[in-house]
């Protein structure tokens, strides 16, 4: 396995970079989208709640790979051409945003309802109260599950390998087929995934214990 790192170090590092870049981009966008839909779900308007529910159920119940393939195969035919990396990042963002929406919503619900009442009776509008009173408190509870979502994102970004996204998994395949040492190549890839995911999950477990 060591010689895989020395022979193909550059390729592996490039793949690792793409995996990280894709995961971080998807995390940022899905955090924005997810919070948006969580707010819609908690809003007083029935229509808004319905829209949020449909969005969340659709992206939670369809496999990530189907969503990614949709953007890779269907989009270029009818809308706009995009490379594997873009299609994969969009797929990951939409898929993860549904899970983040659920997480953020649970966080909002865990804030004492008295906080909202207090804010409203002090003259803040519903959205002001959300923005300045509820969300800042909700995010404290949401950090450990969000960290676990990031671990999932890094793992799920391996779907980029299906669409030629040049991520870590893709490079692992290239190395496995060119060196013919499948086990060594996949172990090297596994080690690199673990370097990112293990510390984050252990840290999140620690945070969870401390918050509880």
Which positions touch another protein (CB under 8 A)? Answer: 57-58, 60-66, 69-70, 73-74, 77, 151, 155-159, 161-162, 169, 172-173, 176, 181-183, 186, 189-190, 193-194, 197-198, 201-202
Q: How far is the CB of 198 from another protein (least distance, A)?
A: 5
Looking at beta carbons only, is 32 or 195 nearer to another protein?
195
180 vs 32: CA distance, rounded Å: 43
Looking at beta carbons only, is 104 or 175 nearer to another protein?
175
Looking at beta carbons only, is 7 or 208 nearer to another protein?
208
Looking at beta carbons only, is 139 or 162 nearer to another protein?
162
Q: How far is the CB of 132 from another protein (least distance, A)?
A: 31
Q: How far is CA 61 from CA 13, 28, 207, in A?
A: 33, 22, 29
20 vs 56: CA distance, rounded Å: 25
Smallest CA-to-CA distance from 153 within 23, 14, 62 is with 23
Q: How far is the CB of 140 from another protein (least distance, A)?
A: 21
Q: How far is the CB of 107 from another protein (least distance, A)?
A: 18
Query: What does the DSSP 8-state code read for residue 44?
Result: S
Looking at beta carbons only, is 28 or 54 nearer to another protein?
54
CB atoms within 10 A of CB 108: 22
Q: How far is the CB of 67 from another protein (least distance, A)?
A: 8
Q: Which token pair is 19?
A: 């995996």
Region of 63 (left: φ > 0; alpha: ψ -120 to 50; beta: rest) is beta
């Amino acid at each position: 396995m060591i010689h895989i790192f020395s022979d193909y170090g550059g390729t592996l590092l490039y793949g690792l970079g793409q995996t990280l870049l894709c995961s971080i981009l998807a995390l940022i966008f899905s955090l924005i989208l997810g919070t948006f839909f969580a707010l819609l779900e908690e809003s007083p308007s029935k229509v808004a709640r319905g829209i949020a529910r449909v969005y969340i159920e659709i992206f939670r119940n369809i496999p990530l790979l189907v969503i990614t393939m949709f953007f890779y195969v269907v989009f270029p035919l009818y809308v706009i051409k995009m490379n594997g990396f873009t299609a994969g990042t969009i797929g990951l963002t939409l898929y993860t945003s549904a899970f983040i929406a659920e997480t953020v919503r649970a966080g909002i619900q865990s804030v004492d309802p008295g906080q909202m009442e207090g804010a409203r009776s002090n003259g803040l509008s519903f959205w002001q109260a959300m923005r300045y009173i509820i969300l800042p408190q909700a995010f404290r509870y949401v950090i450990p599950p969000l960290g676990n979502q990031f671990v999932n994102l890094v793992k799920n970004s391996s779907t980029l390998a299906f669409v030629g996204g040049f991520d870590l998994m893709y490079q692992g395949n290239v190395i496995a087929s060119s060196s013919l040492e499948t086990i060594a190549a996949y172990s090297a890839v596994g080690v690199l995934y673990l370097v990112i995911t293990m510390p984050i999950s252990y840290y999140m477990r620690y945070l969870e214990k401390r918050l509880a």
